[in-house]
Homo-oligomer: A and B are copies of this chain.
Amino acid sequence: MLLTVIYIIAITAEAMTGALSAGRRSMDWFGVILIACVTALGGGSVRDVLLGHYPLTWVKHPEYLVLTCCAALFTIIIAKWMKHLHSIFLLLDALGLIGFTIIGCQIALQMGHGFVVSAVAGVLTGVSGGILRDILCNDVPLVFRRELYASISFVAVIFYWFCIDFGLSLEITVISTLVFGFSLRCIAIYFGLEMPKFIYKDHDEQSASSKDPS
């Protein structure tokens, strides 16, 4: 029940971030809808395809697909006022990240996988929608460059496991993971926390990426 509500908020928020990305690239309406769908439903689809968990969520519940399309069209209409909603938007996105992570983790556990695979499933569900969005928009995925994002998804998985290991009920586990992960993400955004970066320059650099003006 709770997870379904969070899932709906999450796909709506992710669809809107996708639509805005497409708008930055001046795509047509169809492109906006496709990028929104990929951003919102791509993470779960990648997880399901890799785990062989058929049918995919949007195949079983096409209404989520319709919702995503509506969210994309709605974003086109309200884009002018978007800047004033920027912070609400970041919060919804944070909620979505943790919600997706928990759902991905649970599905892997239900399929009988262990910690490593369910951690990967959780993080993949949380971040790969955004990665696909950035690939389709021809960016280096932002998830690897900005404030803590994927790592919070990973920490949330670990927290979730501890809660279950301590014998907490599923409901309490889900709610406390949500609160924990959400607070962590808010702290990361507020203080601009970042993972340490790995910067490597080699003598091939010049020739290997000579097309890149940066």
Contacts and interface: CB of A to CB of B under 8 A. Distances in A.
A169 interface: no
B24 A202 contact: yes
Interface string A1-26: 00000000000000000011011111
Interface string A73-91: 0001001001100000000
A107 interface: no
A59 interface: yes
Given A24-B200, A138-B140, A197-B27, A54 B52 contact: yes
A139 B136 contact: no
The 4 closest A-B pairs by CB, nearest first: A31-B144, A23-B200, A28-B195, A62-B116
A144 B28 CA distance: 6
Interface of A: 19-20, 22-32, 34-35, 45, 49-52, 54-56, 58-59, 62, 65-66, 76, 79, 82-83, 113-114, 116-117, 120, 131, 135-145, 150-151, 154, 194-203, 205, 208-214
Interface centre among A27, A49, A202 (most CB of B within 10 A): A27
Interface centre among A143, A144, A214 (most CB of B within 10 A): A144
